[in-house]
Amino acid sequence: MSEHHESHAPEGHDDALEGHIVSPVVYIIIFIALLIGTAATIGASYLDLHEWNPIIAIAIAVTKATLVVLFFMHVKYSPKLTKLTVGAGLFTFLVLIFMTLSDYISRAWGRW
Amino acid sequence: MSDSSTLVQADHAHEHPPYQRHHFETMQQQVDATGFAMWLFLLTEIMFFGGMFTAYLIYRNWYYPAFVAASHQLNIFWGSLNTLILISSSFTMAMGVWSAQMRKQGTLVLCLVLTFILGLGFLGIKTIEYKEKFEKHHVPGAHYSLNSFLNPDSDKEAKDAGDKPLPLDMARHTEIYFSLYFAMTGMHALHMIIGICLLGYMIFRARQGAYTTGHVSFVEYFGLYWHFVDIVWIFLFPLLYLISRHQ
């Protein structure tokens, strides 16, 4: 089959036009990791770990989300601009949550 | 592109792929710009859902016993199955992007159809869950019933979880839990519905060979959107269904 007719593209940039092609093997590994993460988070929810229950649940969710962002969403293989955009967005998001929660915990609720 | 082609043709002595828009110097520039734009859109979506997650966090902290009792009403089996379905649909979508990149039209159509079916399956299960909430009057509004929380022994889910009766003022706050539950899962489901509509369009176009000519941007950026919706559920599932299960 004549799949390779990209001689018009300049050297070195060829690959970026269709994005870095991630192998299906990587997708399968990530898929299995996500299934294991799901099983782990369901299992952990039945154990009484007191204040650690939500922390573990969120830690597993963050790990799963990171795998999805890096591999399914190709950020690991993306240009620096994309990495910086994702990083800056996440940072802004955390700043907003942090400021909201610090306002919430530092108010004298019911005493004004 | 077609309307401007007569004007631009004179300048186009060099080769261009037909899908390169005339306002981009190079294909590389087009790919960088559109990828950047798609991520900016997803960031606005993160902020949008983030606001609801923050509201949930604060209210849960505030009306903790109500949130624990109300979350026992959700069905772990359906929630887990839906998580499995959504993760699988993310996988088939990732394989769809791969198929488009490898110019495998048949595999691409198959992956998109599987993603489409899994998406519908998710919504079907969500419908079963919502139906139960309507039947038990757990939908916020005039017909909201506190019975499951004031008399937990009369309610199967509450009894199974071993709930104690809540005082009336605390039981009333379960309505806030369900308001957030419907707002968050409802917005998530709306994103799924939009995604499924786009998938239908893409299946139609993929069968015409639209995405297997080397121009994969549409499939790739739709993939980003679909994975984002998956990530929202990855957080919704433990926060709504799981974290109060042990109590």
Q: Give chain B positions within 8 Å (CB) of A9.
A: 27
Looking at the fold, whether A67 and A26 belong to one and the same domain comes out as yes
* Contact residues, chain B, for A85 at CB < 8 Å: 36, 39-40, 43
Residue A8 lies in a domain: no
Any residues with CB less than 8 A from the CB of B217 and at least 6 apart, and which? B31, B34, B35
Helix (H) or strand (E) holding B225: helix B217-236
Alpha helices in B63-75 (DSSP H): 64-71
Partner-chain residue, chosen from A13, A24, A46, that has the shortest CB–CB distance to B98: A24
With 0-12 / 13-18 / 19 or more C-beta atoms within 10 angstroms meaning exposed / middle / buried, residue B145 is: middle
Residues A48 and A85 grouped into a single domain: no
pLDDT tens, B28-70? 889 889 999 999 999 999 999 999 999 999 999 999 999 999 9
How far lies A78's CA from each of B1, B36, B46, B62, B226, in Å? 28, 10, 20, 41, 18
Q: Is residue A12 part of a domain?
A: no
Cβ within 8 Å of residue B28, ≥6 positions away: A13, A16, A17
| Same domain (yes/no): A66, A46 | yes
Between these two residues, A105 and B182, which has the higher pLDDT value?
A: B182
Are residues A62 and A87 located together in one domain of the fold?
no
Does A78 sit within 8 Å of B35, measured CB to CB? yes
Residues A47 and A89 in one domain: no
- Is the Cβ pair A85, B43 closer than 8 Å? yes
Percentage of chain A exceeding pLDDT 90: 68
Kindly list the structural domains of chain B, giving each domain's residue range(s) and its CATH number in brackets, ordered by start: 42-242 (1.20.120.80)
Angle at B230 between CA A66 and CA A34, to 5 degrees: 55
Residues of B in contact with A6 (CB under 8 A): 214
C-alpha B197: how far from its chain's center? 13
Q: Which A residues 4-63 touch B at CB under 8 Å? A: 6, 8-9, 13, 16-19, 21-22, 24, 27-28, 30-31, 34-35, 38, 41-42, 45-49, 53-54, 57-58, 60-61
Same domain, yes or no, for A25 and A64?
yes
- Report the percentage of chain B scoring pLDDT > 90: 81
Average pLDDT, chain B: 92
In this complex, do B216 and A45 lie within 8 Å of one another by their Cβ atoms? no
Please name the amino acid found at residue B183. Answer: A
Residue B63: exposure state from Cβ atoms within 10 A (0-12, 13-18, ≥19): buried
User: pLDDT tens for residues B1-30?
Assistant: 445 444 445 455 557 788 888 888 888 889
Q: Is residue A94 part of a domain?
A: yes
Integer Cα distance of B184 and B57 in angstroms: 13
Name the residue range of residue A30's domain.
Answer: 21-73
A88 lies in some domain: yes
**Three-class secondary structure of residue B114 per DSSP:** helix
pLDDT of res. B214:
85
Do A37 and A60 fall within a single domain? yes
Same domain, A66 and A101: no
Q: What is the ipTM of this complex?
A: 0.89
Chain B residues whose CB is inside 8 A of the A110 CB are none
Question: Closest chain B residue to A109 measured between Cα atoms?
Answer: B62
The number of domains in chain A is 2
**Is B50 close to A96, i.e. CB distance below 8 A?**
yes
Instruction: List, as one string, the DSSP characters of A80-103.
Output: HHHHHHHHHHHHHHHHHHHHHHHH
Kindly state whether residues A33 and A63 are assigned to the same domain. Answer: yes
* A51 and A89 within one domain: no
Binary contact (A93, B83; C-beta < 8 A): no
By C-alpha distance, the chain B residue nearest A22 is: B98
How does pLDDT run across B106-138, given as a tens digit for each residue? 999 999 999 999 999 999 999 999 999 999 999
Alpha carbon of A111: minimum distance to chain B alpha carbons (Å): 16
User: Has residue A17 got a pLDDT over 70?
Assistant: no
Rounded CA separation B191/A84 (Å): 26
Identify whether A101 is part of a domain.
yes
- In tens, the pLDDT along A21-80 reads 899 999 999 999 999 999 999 999 999 888 899 999 999 999 999 999 999 999 999 999
Average pLDDT over residues B169-177: 95
Distance in Å from the first CA to the final CA of chain A: 76
Angle at A88 between CA A84 and CA A90, to 5 degrees: 120
Neighbours of A95 (CB within 10 A): 10
Where does residue A19 fall: left (phi above 0), alpha (psi -120 to 50 degrees), or beta otherwise?
left
Cα nearest neighbour of B54 on chain A: A97
Q: Do A46 and A28 share a structural domain?
A: yes
Dist. CA B160–CA B142, nearest whole Å: 27
> Is residue A72 within 8 angstroms of chain B, CB to CB?
yes
Q: Is A25 found in the same domain as A68? A: yes
